[in-house]
Structure 1
Amino acid sequence: MFSNTRDLIISLAVLAVVMVISVGFTGLCSFNPGPADREGAVQEVDIETILKTDAQGLSVPVRLPALPDNWVPNSGRRVTVDRQPSSVAGWVIDGKEFISLTQTDAATDRAVDAMDEKDDGIREETGEHVTPATASSTGKDVTWQIWTGDDARPLWVADTGDARLLLTGTAGDDQFATLADAVVKAQPL
């Protein structure tokens, strides 16, 4: 039936056309030559629903911080921190900076180690931030340990007694302080 290379090439071309047409009708693929558009709107998620669901399914008390309007929630998921199911929520600030909040009941040192492994970086404790008792749902001062490293994003860690809270991202110190104070002020869901 097929006697030479030309017949084989024609058969492959016909097969390729049929495949492109078949896949094209599904709408599950796209072709966009050129650089990616990074200036589009941030994909917003319903962070309240995500964190309420996490609060129902996890042993750690999950808090929903009240944040400024320019903080757009764009991610929420469950992760494992030192083999403990944990909740992670993320926000984009002014369409530029990103910050995430991890809520876990893993031990503080183990949580920091887990973040170091995730980022492939080494951090050292370099400072602290204190949320005063008057602004805390715990009724006492909450001290945030600030960890930094050359090849790792900043990490702020607090132990509220019932949970460990971890903040990381590309945001500046003021945004870290805003989220730190807001999450400690929030009551568990």
Structure 2
Amino acid sequence: MATGKPRILQDGRDMIWTVLALLALCVFVLFASGNWTFGFKAGSGDDKVPAFDVSAALAADARSMPFPIRRPATPDGWKPNSGSTQTVGGQVSSNVGWVTKKGSYVQLTQTDAPEEELVATLGGYDAMGAGKREAGGHSWVVYDGENKNRFWIADLGDVRIGVRSKGSEADIEQIAKAV
């Protein structure tokens, strides 16, 4: 009776062949599960954007927050992907976000906190005013924040609206008009 290892396992080649077989198995599993892409698709049309129900989130916020919540019409091709609440200067805020057709993220924040606090939350304490714009019948103050974030803020009396994105100003303007 032979008591040693099989002949194929007698040198360093057995480790190399085992590792190669495991790598091939991992690559097969990644491709088969659809969790590996090469990024050939442009924009947000790849269905990898997590689904989120903006209408339900804003309706829930409207029931629990002390200020009116607006639900803007979403531009065609934009995918809602997130929602949250957070504290802004001691006040609560409602946040929802979309991924645009071009793949950039746009966030809508609604709060009754003072504008200075909203500016600090959306763009950091170093955010600088960059002018004013008119959109949707309201005057918006334009800010440049940290990390190339541009955001607009409008004071509608009972609520402050902030729209932030690293994408184009046209994306910000579309939500600002819809509000």
The normalised TM-score by structure 1 is: 0.67
C-alpha distance in 2 between matches for 1:150 and 1:84: 22
What is the deviation of 1:182? Answer: 0.2
Give the match for residue 101 of structure 1: 108
Give the match for residue 76 of structure 1: 83
Give the match for residue 120 of structure 2: 113
Give the aligned residue type for 2:171.
Answer: Q
Shift >2 Å, 4+ stretches: 35-40, 114-117, 149-152
C-alpha distance in 1 between matches for 2:123 and 2:82: 21
What is the deviation of 1:170? Answer: 2.0
Match of 2:57 among 30, 50, 60: 50
Q: Is 1:65 equivalent to 2:69 in the alignment?
A: no
The normalised TM-score by structure 2 is: 0.71
C-alpha distance in 2 between matches for 1:94 and 1:65: 17
Give the aligned residue type for 1:169.
Answer: S
What is the deviation of 1:123? Answer: 1.5
Give the aligned residue type for 2:52.
Answer: V
C-alpha distance in 2 between matches for 1:110 and 1:50: 23
Give the aligned residue type for 1:178.
Answer: Q
Q: Alignment length, in residue pairs? A: 141
Structure 2 alignment gaps of length 5 or more: 1-28
Counterparts of residues 1-189 of structure 1 (less than 5 Å): 37=37, 40-41=46-47, 42-94=49-101, 96-117=103-124, 122-131=126-135, 135=136, 141-149=137-145, 151-183=147-179
C-alpha distance in 2 between matches for 1:44 and 1:122: 33
C-alpha RMSD of the superposition: 2.3
C-alpha distance in 2 between matches for 1:129 and 1:109: 18
**For the Cα contact (< 8 Å) 1:78–1:86, is it kept in 2?**
yes
**For the Cα contact (< 8 Å) 2:69–2:110, is it kept in 1?**
yes
C-alpha distance in 2 between matches for 1:70 and 1:84: 32
**For the Cα contact (< 8 Å) 1:98–1:171, is it kept in 2?**
yes
Percentage of matched positions with identical amino acids = 31
Give the aligned residue type for 2:79.
Answer: V
Cα pair distance change 1:87/1:125, threshold 3 Å: same
Moved more, 50-59 or 91-100: 91-100
Give the secondary structure class of the aligned counterpart of 1:85: strand
Cα pair distance change 1:115/1:149, threshold 3 Å: closer
**For the Cα contact (< 8 Å) 1:98–1:169, is it kept in 2?**
yes
Give the aligned residue type for 2:123.
Answer: D
